[in-house]
Amino acid sequence: MNSLWSSSSPPAGGLRERKKARTRAAIQDHALRLFVEQGYAATTVEQIAEAAEISPSTFFRYFPSKEAVAFKDELEPMIVESFLAQPPGTSAIGAFRAAVQAVFATLSEDDLAAARDRHRLVWDVPELRAAALENIGRSMGLIAELAACRVGRTVDDFAVRTFAGAVFGVLVSVNDLWASEPGTDMAARFDAGLALLEAGLPL
């Protein structure tokens, strides 16, 4: 998956970090494959570790639990970075729209398929879907923090919190559609939802 930052030379410890990233990705790939093949509940950490050719102790150095494997998302930090890079004067909604479009434009078909499969798994497995709903506060908090930074307000500002809830509502709506209709263009739908918010949500 392409990074949105660039540098003339790798950061300190870059080779080690890339090796860790490859190991983390391999663990997740094998875990998601096993979840699909034999079911989430029937898959153990030991089986995931064996498939990835690592020890269970190594697994836990990368993921605190089996559940965490399904929730590891490389897209979120990329979208955050792109959001922060949008030009001054861009509205909060405009920055979110531009960030999502920029990140999804970098994804290969394999990257997109992997993200879609992981997403469908989270929404199809009751235990994971329940855990996802428990993360609502964290997700809304992140959106509020980004919006507050963009408009020069505090994260507890009522308008900022309301904005975060509205954006999160668009995300939930699009995620639900993506889970039921895998062929959906996630980026285009999310952009369309944010455009509706930007227009005052006319009905």
- Residue 9: pLDDT over 50: no
- Residue 74: pLDDT over 80: no
User: From CA 161, how far away is CA 139, in angstroms rounded?
Assistant: 12
Average pLDDT, the chain: 86
Kindly state the average pLDDT of the residues 173-202: 88
Between 11 and 119, where is the model more confident?
119
pLDDT of residue 73: 78
pLDDT of residue 88: 92
Q: How far is CA 169 from the centre of its chain?
A: 15
- Residue 11: pLDDT over 70: no
Q: Identify the band that residue 4 occupies on the pLDDT scale cut at 50, 70 and 90.
A: very low
pLDDT of residue 49: 96
CA-wise closest residue to 69 among 114, 109, 111, 31: 31
> Can 14-66 and 73-198 be said to share one CATH topology?
no
Q: How many helices (H) and strands (E) does the chain have?
A: 11, 0
Percent of the chain with pLDDT over 70: 94
Say which residues have a Cβ less than 8 Å from residue 26's Cβ, sequence separation at least 6.
52
Q: What are the residue ranges spanned by the domains of the chain?
A: 14-66, 73-198
pLDDT of residue 109: 86
CA-wise closest residue to 117 among 186, 64, 168, 47: 186
Kindly state the average pLDDT of the residues 157-168: 96
Q: How far is CA 82 from the centre of its chain?
A: 13
The CATH superfamily label for domain 14-66 reads Homeodomain-like (1.10.10.60)
CATH class of 73-198: mainly alpha
- Residue 179: pLDDT over 80: no
Residue type, 98: A
pTM of the model as a whole: 0.76
Q: Identify the band that residue 8 occupies on the pLDDT scale cut at 50, 70 and 90.
A: very low
- Residue 53: pLDDT over 90: yes
Inter-CA distances, 108 with 2, 33, 51, 172, 185, Å: 9, 19, 25, 24, 14
- Residue 26: pLDDT over 50: yes
- Residue 164: pLDDT over 60: yes
- Residue 127: pLDDT over 90: no
Residues 25/11, Cβ–Cβ less than 8 Å: no
Between 85 and 1, where is the model more confident?
85
Residues 186/100, Cβ–Cβ less than 8 Å: no
pLDDT of residue 55: 96
At 79, is the secondary structure helix, strand, or coil?
A: helix
